[in-house]
Amino acid sequence: MPLNLFHRMKYLNTFGEYLLFLKISIGKPEKFKIFRELFVRDLYQMGNDSFGIVSIISIFIGAVAAIQIGYQLVGSLVPMYVLGRIVRDSNILEFSPTITALVMAGKIGGNIASEIGTMKVSEQIDALEIMGVNSAKHVVLPKLAASLIAIPALVIYAMFLSNLGGIISVNLSGIVSINGYINGLLMDFDGFSVTYALTKAFTFSFLIITISATHGYKTEGGALEVGWASTRAVVQSCIAIIFFDFILTQMMLYK
């Protein structure tokens, strides 16, 4: 069999495994009380533990975006107050949802794959199955539900902080007057850009959790394989995020 065909078959096989995993892991929780406890724990871990990194990255991305775009506008015919508007739209439409999702893929995606992978190799998943618990649903569903709240919430938080970062950097660098920049920020605001960003956030949340959980769940072996599963989860989540970023942008912005 030619090598490229073999690889295509392998990718199809992986995709098939992913779909089968989705089929068994998504549905009504088996015991709502236990689901709620796990959901609260996961929501806290995903949300609270990610505030710091998301805050730092968002402020600096907003600050850098304002300086870079300002640098490109200097000497052009475009009025400088437009800077605020361009930075705002860039932050809301692209930077906040995509960069936050990429950070979360690295942070919680790797964590989920290694947590579930460790459960698999230490027979905790088998223990659940023998008890009569749908192990896939038990470990994935609370994380998925928590991520669908935590990640969009972090994206909204990142939108505010990245624009705040822009204001701080404009104020410090003096590219344009702060009043002019803020006027630009408030100019022609379209609520659809937030809808678009949140659609991306929900999609990315789903991809991060399900891809990472799939890799964790099919781990076999020991610590080494858990590490590989974690790496694959992060890499494939990032690729999926970038790919769906393109698809959603095409679908939603050029209807």
Partner 1 sequence: MIELKKINKSFESKQVLFDVSAQFEKGACSFVIGSSGGGKSVLMKTMVGLLTPESGSINFDGRDFLNINYEEKKIIRQEIGMLFQGGALFDSLSVEDNVAFPLRMFTDWSKEQVLERVNFCLKRVNLEHVNQLFPSNISGGMKKRVGIARAIALKPKYLFCDEPNSGLDPITSRLIDELIAEITKEFNITTVINSHDMKSVFDMSDQVTFVYKGKVWWQGTKEDIRDSNCKELIDFIKASEF
Contacts with partner 1 by CB under 8 A lie at 30-31, 33-34, 118-119, 122-124, 126-127, 129-133
CA 124 – CA 222 distance, rounded (Å): 13
Q: Quote the least distance from Cβ 120 to partner 1, whole Å.
A: 11
Q: Which is nearer to partner 1, 88 or 137 (CB)?
A: 137
User: For residue 143, which phi and psi values (nearest 5 degrees)?
Assistant: -70, -40
CB of 124 to partner 1, least distance (A): 5
Between 138 and 232, name the residue whose CB sits nearer to partner 1: 138
* Overall residue count recorded for the chain in this entry: 255
Q: Tell whether the torsion through CA atoms of 78, 82, 87 and 90 is positive or negative.
A: negative
Of 42 and 245, the one with the shorter C-beta distance to partner 1 is 42
Question: Which one, 135 or 147, has the nearer CB to partner 1?
Answer: 135
Q: What does 4-58 look like in DSSP terms, one character per residue?
A: HHHHHHHHHHHHHHHHHHHHHHSSS-S-HHHHHHHHHHHHHHHHHTTHHHHHHHH
- Closest to partner 1 by CB, 180 or 227: 227
Nearest distance in Å: CB 173, partner 1? 47
Task: Determine the distance from the C-alpha atom of residue 197 to the mean position of all C-alpha atoms in its chain, rounded to a whole number.
Answer: 11
- Tell me which amino acid residue 85 is: R
Closest distance to partner 1 from the beta carbon of 109 (Å): 18
Q: Do residues 233 and 216 lie in contact, with contact meaning Cβ atoms separated by under 8 Å?
A: yes
| Smallest distance, partner 1 to C-beta of residue 93, A | 38
